[in-house]
């Protein structure tokens, strides 16, 4: 009976990055930590963007006041000149509204929250006080229901497998269970003629199976 070595992995890693740059002022997670959906993970200093928002809001209030005044003066524009004035005022107001909405969106991007119940795989490079560039230093999460046993299988054995095929997984932790093939990778690993195969773990629950735990699969 063929037997191959492998390890517990996640079949659905999530990478979270800040869409904005700034100074990291809070880090509420670390590798191996279990988090729940909505838990705060990290935050950037909001002061610079809050200052910009105050400027944009002041501009919006001024632009809105000018638009309202013109509307009172010209409730129904009659001449082409009056219509043009009204259109220009409306355009300025629209631009101001979009600018405020953009800054508010940037404020929302200063906080990272867990999108699901998960295990933190990595928060490497994130240290409170450092400056973060946009899309830099990701937080990697593995959803709790994403545990599978992965093993590289040589080509001659790979093409004999099919989804749902029975197997038995035995981990070094002492766990052993009947399993089945859930994924046959269509791409080989490098040029050595091996292909990754995933095998189901009961419940696929990472609270019971530690990422990286080694073991063997036989089928």
- Parse the chain into domains and list their residue ranges: 3-11+144-218, 14-44+111-142, 47-108
CATH of 3-11+144-218, one of 3.20.20.70, 3.40.50.150, 2.40.30.170, 3.40.50.261: 2.40.30.170
Residue whose C-alpha is closest to residue 36's, from 120, 109, 108: 120
| Residue 219's pLDDT band (cuts 50, 70, 90) | confident
Mean pLDDT of 88-114: 95
Alpha carbons 183 and 200: distance in angstroms, whole number: 9
Backbone angles phi, psi at 76, to 5 degrees: -135, 95
Give the per-residue SS3 of the chain. CCEEEEEEEECCCEEECCCCCEEEEEECCCCCCEECCCCEEEEECCHHHHHHHHHHHHHHHHHHHHHHHHHHHCCCCCCHHHHHHHHHHHHHHHHHHHHHHHHHHHHHCCEEECCCCEEEEECCCCCCCCEECCCCCCEEEEECCCEEEEEEEEHHHHCCCCCCCEEEEEECCCCEEEEEEEEEEEEEECCCCEEEEEEECHHHCCCCCCCCCEEEEEC
pLDDT class of 76 with cuts at 50, 70, 90 = confident
Residue 122 has pLDDT above 70, yes or no: yes
Greatest mean pLDDT among 49-63, 152-166, 174-188, 197-211 lies in: 49-63
Q: How far apart are the first and last CA of the chain?
A: 6
Comparing CA positions, the residue from 140, 141, 123 lying closest to residue 132 is 123
Q: How far apart are CA 35 and CA 12, in angstroms?
A: 16
Confidence of residue 190 (pLDDT cuts 50, 70, 90): low
CATH number of 14-44+111-142: 2.40.50.100
Where does the pLDDT of residue 3 fall: very low under 50, low under 70, confident under 90, or very high at 90 and above?
A: very high
């Amino acid at each position: 009976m063929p037997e191959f070595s492998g390890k517990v992995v996640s079949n659905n890693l999530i990478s979270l990055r800040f869409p904005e740059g700034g100074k990291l002022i809070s880090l509420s997670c670390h590798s191996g930590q279990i988090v729940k959906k909505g838990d705060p993970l990290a935050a950037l200093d909001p002061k610079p963007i809050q200052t910009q928002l105050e400027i944009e809001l002041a501009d919006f209030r001024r632009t809105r006041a000018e638009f309202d005044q013109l509307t009172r003066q010209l409730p129904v524009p009659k001449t082409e000149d009056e219509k043009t004035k009204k259109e220009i005022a409306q355009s300025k107001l629209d631009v101001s509204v979009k600018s405020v909405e953009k800054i508010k969106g940037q404020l929302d991007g200063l906080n990272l929250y867990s999108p699901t119940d998960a295990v933190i795989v990595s928060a490497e490079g994130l240290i409170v006080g450092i400056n973060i560039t946009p899309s830099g230093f990701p937080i990697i999460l593995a959803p709790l229901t994403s545990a599978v046993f992965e093993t590289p299988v040589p080509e001659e054995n790979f093409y004999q497998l099919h989804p749902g095929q029975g197997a038995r997984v035995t981990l070094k932790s002492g766990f052993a269970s009947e399993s089945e093939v859930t994924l046959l990778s269509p791409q080989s690993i490098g040029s050595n003629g091996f292909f990754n195969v995933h095998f189901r773990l009961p419940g696929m629950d990472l609270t019971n199976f530690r990422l990286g735990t080694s073991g063997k699969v036989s089928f």
